[in-house]
Structure 1
Amino acid sequence: MRISTGGALTLLGLLGLAHTTLAVIQYRQVLKLSQEEFEALPASILLELVLSAAVAVLGGYLLTGPIKVAIMPAKGRSMDISSLRTDFISFNMRSRAMPLDIPPLTS
């Protein structure tokens, strides 16, 4: 099984995000043991988070491949697309099944 560059970068980025998550959990446990207040994450964990997210996004971008243009042939158009008349759209709802002789609500 062969992994592409985009797949490898995505996997590396996701593993980095998982490691960052575990590092944050461990940092919070150390703060609880030392009875300190949580103010902010250390710069090393934030840097790891940003780099892992960037690598995962870059891998996802490379994994998708080039964008293909969707071209619709002029002769193959159906009536739904070629003559869309929004004035004549009707909504089929359940309210049509309700009886019309409902007495008004009184307070």
Structure 2
Amino acid sequence: MGIAKKIDLAIGVLGVLLLAHAAHSTIQYRAALKIKEEEFSRVSFQILVEVLVSSALCLWAALSVPGTFLEILPDSKHDRILQLPENLDFMIFNHRGKLFPPKLDVN
């Protein structure tokens, strides 16, 4: 694993930790409001910013850690739907579509 991947992974871990901290801060904020006997209307601006930053860090890591996107080749013979009849165990023919009569074109 290269140094860039390790940095991206560390960014993702930091994002998850910040998100957990934001959840914990929200719980503490609501508990403080209950003690003060005030109504909970919305979270504080600091918690909202923390959630947005941590979500951006998690998104960055989710897009960069797994690797580069590969293009789908239309002429490739691998993973095509034409190869499905080799494994008939997962083909289901008993479904709601049988309730509707087939369209017959009588001309």
Shorter chain as denominator, the TM-score bin is 0.5 to 0.7
1:55-66 paired onto structure 2 within 5 Å: 55-66=57-68
Query: Which of 22, 34, 38 is the matching residue for 2:40?
Result: 38
Deviations 1:69-101 (A, max 9, x none): 243656x58xx629xxxxxxxx7439xxxxxxx
User: Which 5+ residue runs of structure 2 have no aligned equivalent?
Assistant: 84-91, 96-107
Q: TM-score normalized by structure 1?
A: 0.65
In the TM superposition, what is the alpha-carbon distance from 1:62 to its structure 2 partner?
1.1
Would you say how many aligned residue pairs link Structure 1 and Structure 2? 83
Structure 1: 4+ residue segments shifted above 4 A: none
Q: TM-score normalized by structure 2?
A: 0.65
Query: Which of 68, 71, 74 is the matching residue for 2:73?
Result: 71
Alignment partner, residue 94 of structure 2: 93
Distance of aligned partners of 1:61 and 1:93 in 2 relative to their CA distance in 1, 3 Å threshold:
closer
Alignment RMSD, CA only?
Answer: 2.8
| Secondary structure at 2:26 match in 1 | helix
Residues 5 and 59 of structure 1 are in contact (CA less than 8 Å); yes or no, is this contact kept in structure 2? no
Alignment partner, residue 51 of structure 2: 49
Q: Distance in 1 between matches of 2:57 and 2:45?
A: 18
More helix by share: 2
User: Which 5+ residue runs of structure 1 have no aligned equivalent?
Assistant: 83-90, 95-107
Which protein is bigger by CA-based radius of gyration? 1
Letter in 2 for 1:4: K
Distance of aligned partners of 1:92 and 1:61 in 2 relative to their CA distance in 1, 3 Å threshold:
closer
